[in-house]
A and B are shown apart, each in its own frame.
Chain A
Amino acid sequence: QKEVEQNSGPLSVPEGAIASLNCTYSDRGSQSFFWYRQYSGKSPELIMSIYSNGDKEDGRFTAQLNKASQYVSLLIRDSQPSDSATYLCAVRATSGSARQLTFGSGTQLTVLP
């Protein structure tokens, strides 16, 4: 069973600060990595995808990938109260016909006004 590990939190940051969310994975050959945001009572929505080592920026969000360390992170700059949600890390398997997408348990983020 491929594993995806996240700190469950909760993580609290003040408005305007940088929130840093971390994720590690066990399948060394994984190639595709995703961050989903899930508001309470809602379904997950994709906010970032990353496929190669390094940083990928999209607005206030930056995803960072280090395949050697099997580590992926999400930075949220200028955090807003509307960013308060659970952030799910997901990793796509490289083996098997299904190319299964496995989710971590999520990190709950609260941005304090």
Chain B
Amino acid sequence: EAGVAQSPRYKIIEKRQSVAFWCNPISGHATLYWYQQILGQGPKLLIQFQNNGVVDDSQLPKDRFSAERLKGVDSTLKIQPAKLEDSAVYLCASSFDRTGELFFGEGSRLTVL
């Protein structure tokens, strides 16, 4: 069974530039998550989708971050404009449903200079 796919693995940008991350969840998983993990901290939930609808985006900085999950499958997380404090690993995870085990992708490491 294929795991959660993410790209790009690494991205370096200047502050105020934009960046987009892509995630393809495990086939059949209805719930998709984007977490932000800053070095030395635990993952922090940014947004959670159930199929193609948002069920929780309370911690998403909506002035600069946006995410979509078209057709209830893959998802894109965008940051525009980026700030220095956005430097982190962006983890995508999926689960069969809202109560199921989370499976994580390898993450996308963002460095903002």
Name A residues whose Cβ lies closer than 8 Å to a Cβ of B: 4, 6, 32, 34, 42-46, 49, 88, 92, 96-106
Contact between B91 and A43 (Cβ–Cβ < 8 Å)?
Answer: yes
Judge whether B73 is part of the interface by a CB distance below 8 angstroms. no
The answer to whether B99 and A46 have CB atoms under 8 Å apart is no
A46, B102: Cα distance in complex, Å: 8
Q: Given A43-B104, A43-B106, do A99 and B98 touch, yes or no (CB 8 Å)?
A: yes
Q: In the docked arrangement, what's the CA distance between A41 and B65, Å?
A: 24
A103 touches B99 (CB 8 A): no
Report the bound CA distance from A34 to B55 in whole Å: 21
Q: A43-B106, A46-B101 are in contact. Are A100 and B48 (CB under 8 A)?
A: yes
Q: Looking at the complex, which one of B33, B41, B56, B104 makes contact with A96 (CB distance below 8 Å)?
A: B56
Cβ-based interface call for B61 (8 A): no
B45→A102 contact, CB < 8 A: yes
Interface contact A105-B42, CB-CB below 8 Å: yes
Shortest beta-carbon distance from A8 to chain B in Å: 8
When chains A and B are docked, how far (Å) is the Cα of A49 from the Cα of B44? Answer: 19
In order of increasing CB-CB distance, the 6 nearest A-B pairs are A98-B56, A103-B42, A43-B104, A98-B55, A99-B98, A105-B42
Q: With an 8 A cutoff between CB atoms, is B72 at the interface?
A: no
Contacts of B48 in A (CB 8 A): 98, 100
User: Nearest Cβ distance between residue B31 and chain A, in whole angstroms?
Assistant: 9
Interface membership of B25, Cβ < 8 A = no
> Which of B43, B56, B107 lies at the interface centre, i.e. has the most chain A CB atoms within 10 A of its CB?
B43
Considering the complex, give the chain A residue whose CB is closest to the CB of B47. Answer: A98
Query: A29 → chain B, closest Cβ, in Å?
Result: 14
Q: Tell me which of B45, B103, B105 contacts A101 (CB under 8 A).
A: B45
- The residue of chain B having its C-beta at the shortest distance from the C-beta of A8 within the complex is B40
| Given A44-B43, A101-B45; A32-B56 close (CB under 8 Å) | no
Q: Cβ of B105: which chain A residues have Cβ within 8 Å of it?
A: 43
Which residue on A lies nearest to B40, using beta carbons? Answer: A105
Residues in A with CB closer than 8 Å to B107 are 43
Please give, as numbers and ranges, the residues of chain B lying within 8 Å of A99 by CB-CB distance: 98-99
